[in-house]
A and B are shown apart, each in its own frame.
Chain A
Amino acid sequence: MSQEKYQTLLELANQNGTTYELTEGDNGTLVVTGTAPSAEAKQALWDEYNRIDPDFKSGDLILNLSTGADAAGGGVHTYTVESGDNLSKIGKQYGVEWKAIWDHNRDILKDPDKIYPGQELKIPM
Chain B
Amino acid sequence: MKVKFLTFLTLAAVMLMIGCGKSDADLAKAVNDKLAADKVVGVTAAVTGGVATLTGEVADITVKTKAEAAAKTVEGIKSVTNNVTTKPIPVATPAAPDPALTGKITENLKKAGCTGANVTVVNGVVTVLGEVSAAKYQECVQVIMQAGITGLKNELKKGS
Contact = CB atoms under 8 A, between A and B. Distances in A.
Size category of the A interface is 20 to 34
Contacts of B137: 55
Contacts, number: 91
B81 interface: no
A33 to B, nearest CB: 8
Nearest to A31: B92
Interface residues of B, number: 37
Q: Give chain A's interface secondary structure class.
A: mixed
A3 B125 contact: no
A93 B100 contact: yes
Interface in B62-80: 62, 65
B92 A25 contact: yes
Q: Give chain B's interface secondary structure class.
A: mixed
Contacts of B95: 95, 125
B151 A65 contact: no
B107 interface: yes
A105 interface: no
A27 B61 contact: no
Contact of A22 (B65, B89, B145, B149): B89
Interface in A72-97: 77, 79, 92-95
Nearest to B101: A95
B136 interface: no
A44 interface: no
B29 interface: no
Interface string A40-75: 000000100010000111010011111000000000
B91 interface: yes
